[in-house]
Amino acid sequence: MQRIAALSEHFPDVGSPAPEEGSEAAREDWWIALKFWFGCSFMRGRRDALSVRFMEAAVEATAKILGDGERTEPDRVKQAARDGWLNWRQTAHTTQPFLSALANNGVNNSMDRKMVADSLAFVIDLPELNIVAWAISEIEQGRLRLVFYRLQRIHGVAEKLASLFLKEVVHTYDLGARCTAADYQYVFPIDTWVETVCIRLGLFEGDESLEEKTFRALAACELCNVDPIRFNQGAWYLGYARGDQGIDSVCALDSFEQAKGE
């Protein structure tokens, strides 16, 4: 498990959703923070390249219809909310200028469009509309669990996406010391690659509930003295960059039983 955790050093090169403007920029600028969020919330059930394409199309369309083409303006977002543009639950899509703009710009998945609208409606109620700064503040005050559940009010966001975002916030802003042992269940997303690595290591079989899988993976990290976030990132990188053959090669050298004996 230590070998896999060590692979986390490669994660920022291919897997991090942190914006190119930098982590501190996301903490200070609500629009950059929103792009950080979208870098996580679009990563669901499909190829990463496709998720990135839809995310970039959504960002571009949002900046055009609610901003100056480069970024979205807070006052325009608030006005859009007052005009009902973000309330897809009560207005037909055909009369929604914002949802139509997303669709016309290539965001062809209805769940993605609703998620973007809900995300904008969500940040309106946050201080300075900044979802990253809000998450940091809540984590620093010991309320990570509440953030995890509140994020799931956004359409299309379930446990995996909420934990993916929180994992990246905790890692990017070095908030591990603020996390209790119980908090790590909320910052350990299990996607296809992480699950495959855990199964090959013998941490679980694959047919357990998500809660049970998370519990077993975290228990193994604790037993082997491995940082859970580093292991999670390393496992994702191993699967993403090296595929099944790479997973088999590394896991053959680093089974759970071997790790316990080291």
Residues 142-192 have pLDDT tens digits of 999 999 999 999 999 999 999 999 999 999 999 999 999 999 999 999 999
> So what's the pLDDT on residue 89?
83
Q: Taking the mean position of all CA atoms in its chain, how far away is CA 249?
A: 28
Distance in angstroms (rounded) separating the CA atoms of residues 39 and 70: 17
Q: Do residues 34 and 123 touch, judged by C-beta distance below 8 A? A: yes
**3 state SS of 227:** coil
What are the angstrom distances between the C-alpha of 4 and each of 95, 213, 240?
50, 18, 13
For residue 184, which of 221, 239, 234 has the smallest C-alpha distance? 221
User: What is the token pair recorded at 163?
Assistant: 């934990």
Tell me which residues of the chain have a pLDDT lower than 50.
259-262
Entry pTM:
0.91
Query: What is the sign, positive or negative, of the torsion defined by CA atoms of 133, 138, 139, 145?
Result: negative
